[in-house]
Structure 1
Amino acid sequence: MVGRASGLPGPLQSALERGMRAIEDASLLDRVNGPLAEAVRKVAEKQPRIADVLHGVPVGHPLHPAMVLVPVGTWTSAAVLDLVPRTGPAVPVLIATGVLSAGPAAAAGLVDWAELHPQQQRVGLVHAVSNTAGLALYTASLVARLRGHGATGRALSYAGFGAVMAGGFLGGHLSYRQAAGANHVEDVPHIVPPGWHDLCAIDDLPEGRPVRRLVGEAPVVAVRRGKAIDVLADKCSHLSGPLHEGRVHDVDGEACITCPWHGSTFRLDDGDVVAGPATAPQPSFDVRVDAGRVQVRLPGAG
């Protein structure tokens, strides 16, 4: 019944599920993931502005999915035109465009991958290997075509297309099943009731130290700084890290909080992203104090 509802035969769907679980649980891959992720993070730390651009901080969502449209689009077009007679130099041009654009797209994916959980990194590594194989096959196809070996070039192209499609399937699993790159606080405005809510007594908030509280079902982090009180959603928008366990500090003269899991940094007064890997801001609550009680309201809640 499950297989029929999904449009896939039951045995095929079960095989795909088992295959993806096997990759997620393949701890052997961590021997590669650990050192590689550490190396990527060290490079990113030396160029934080470039890393934030590759994460997609300026555009508010991960950049990698948009960047892969160019190589995948050009290679798909090449696969179609290979079936059309007398296409001339169009196919080699499309393949070359895909090969040249694959590097920047891979760089964006790599910096995102380095800041994921182990199960996500395992799937991401196989995704990268599959796409790298596709890139190598397309490069070989381009060389063969330029040397006049059209049949070999076409065969290599279709092999590369298959590898890239497999990589795309793995990327879809990573994004939609494992929620890598998703905004993990998108649900907060939908679970917080509208209006003002009593949070706690103002004396319960220590100076300069983040404290976790609940607004309805939503966990929030509250920080008292003198007369100012800032309240943000507690789950980090990157991968749900606990902001209340993070560090409060100044960045360029502005009070910020940094997630303890992957280092995403948010401005306390409005929740905006100061540094990635997070790309989505933290929901920021309005705050007032009435008779010694802190009350909060989330704009747009409900």
Structure 2
Amino acid sequence: MRAVLNKLEQASQLDRVGDRIQRGIWSALPRRWMRDLLHGVWLGHPLHPVLVQLPVGAWTASAILDMLPGQRRASTALVAVGTFGAVPAVLAGWNDWASLSQSQRRVGLVHAVANGIGLALYGASLGTRLSGRHGIGRILGWAGLSAASGGAFLGGHLAYKMGAGVNQAVPEMHRIDEGWHAVADLGALPEASLVTRKINDVGVLIYRDGENVTAMLEHCAHQGGPLGAGDLTKVDGHVCVVCPWHGSTFRLDNGEVVHGPSATDQQTLPTRTMGGVLEIRLP
């Protein structure tokens, strides 16, 4: 299985199809607020894994009821709930997929195809159940659950092995020692500019506004882009930094994500000034 997954990650022949789909998704979602909505920026958490709970739970419960007598109506209702509930999960998933790296998109494409087959089988299962052919409906439902389970396995590989959708910056915190770290003379820090310093070889982004100084991890939460090379902008009156790689935008005062594709906040670090020297520590 490891060998199969490694080959899938390197399957460059999938890129031709994947690149076309990616362009199609961007064309279908031209407005940033649409993409932010589906990424889960408003939630501060990726939306896709939240939405998949409904279809997965409904379909699993339906498969169990299909093995019990006298549960046709309840099982059919659950198949319907799962099938229609999968639509927003699919939309959020494709939106997230379009912002992944190339190797992640290869695995993600097969993940989506497997789930698409599962959804089609459940749609057929619902149709046959409503027409009174419950035996065929059960078989199609079990087949759909098998396909969706294979897709879920690939989704787990994407998240846990390939790091898709997880906060890429937080692991950097584990490399910073406990306690306060002196990083710069406060008077030497330019105002309204981005400054990068290192603590235990971990990049830290510093922004000064008069006597107020904020610090955050410099690696972008989305794909580890260098926020120190990003641009400053204002969103709703708040000064923000824009990642130069994919455009994720974070408030500099508290790290809150205001535009995706990142769906999680950027980790900020406590600061203090002692004897004119700026010090930073872990939260």
TM-score, structure 1 normalization: 0.85
Residues 9 and 106, structure 2, Cα contact 8 Å, conserved in 1? yes
Are 1:57 and 2:41 an aligned pair? yes
* Of 57-66 and 192-201, the range deviating more from structure 2: 192-201
Q: What runs of 5+ residues in structure 2 fail to find an aligned partner?
A: none
Q: Deviations over 1:225-280 (max 9, x none)?
A: 55554321001112211111211111122110011122111111121111122222
Structure 1 segment 79-90 matched on structure 2, within 5 A = 79-90=63-74
Which of residues 128, 142, 158 is equivalent to 1:174?
158
Write the distance in 2 (CA, Å) between the matches of 1:26 and 1:283: 34
Residue in 2 that maps onto 1:36: 21
Write the distance in 2 (CA, Å) between the matches of 1:89 and 1:202: 69
Are 1:243 and 2:227 an aligned pair? yes
The offset of 1:116, in angstroms, is 0.8
The offset of 1:25, in angstroms, is 0.6
Write the distance in 2 (CA, Å) between the matches of 1:232 and 1:36: 35
Residue in 2 that maps onto 1:25: 10
Identity %: 43
Residue in 1 that maps onto 2:125: 141
Write the distance in 2 (CA, Å) between the matches of 1:80 and 1:235: 45
Aligned positions, number: 283
Structure 1 segment 198-277 matched on structure 2, within 5 A = 198-202=182-186, 205-206=189-190, 208-225=192-209, 228-277=212-261
The offset of 1:160, in angstroms, is 1.1
Distance 1:252 1:43, change over 3 A: farther
Write the distance in 1 (CA, Å) between the matches of 2:22 and 2:208: 35
The offset of 1:23, in angstroms, is 1.2
Q: What runs of 5+ residues in structure 1 fail to find an aligned partner?
A: 1-15
Distance 1:291 1:178, change over 3 A: same
Write the distance in 1 (CA, Å) between the matches of 2:19 and 2:197: 34
The offset of 1:202, in angstroms, is 4.8
Residue in 2 that maps onto 1:5: none
Write the distance in 1 (CA, Å) between the matches of 2:25 and 2:6: 26
Residues 72 and 134, structure 2, Cα contact 8 Å, conserved in 1? no
Residues 66 and 72, structure 2, Cα contact 8 Å, conserved in 1? no
Residues 159 and 165, structure 2, Cα contact 8 Å, conserved in 1? yes
Residues 257 and 267, structure 1, Cα contact 8 Å, conserved in 2? yes
Residues 61 and 181, structure 1, Cα contact 8 Å, conserved in 2? no
RMSD: 2.2
For 1:144, give the aligned amino acid. Answer: T
* Of 120-129 and 289-298, the range deviating more from structure 2: 289-298
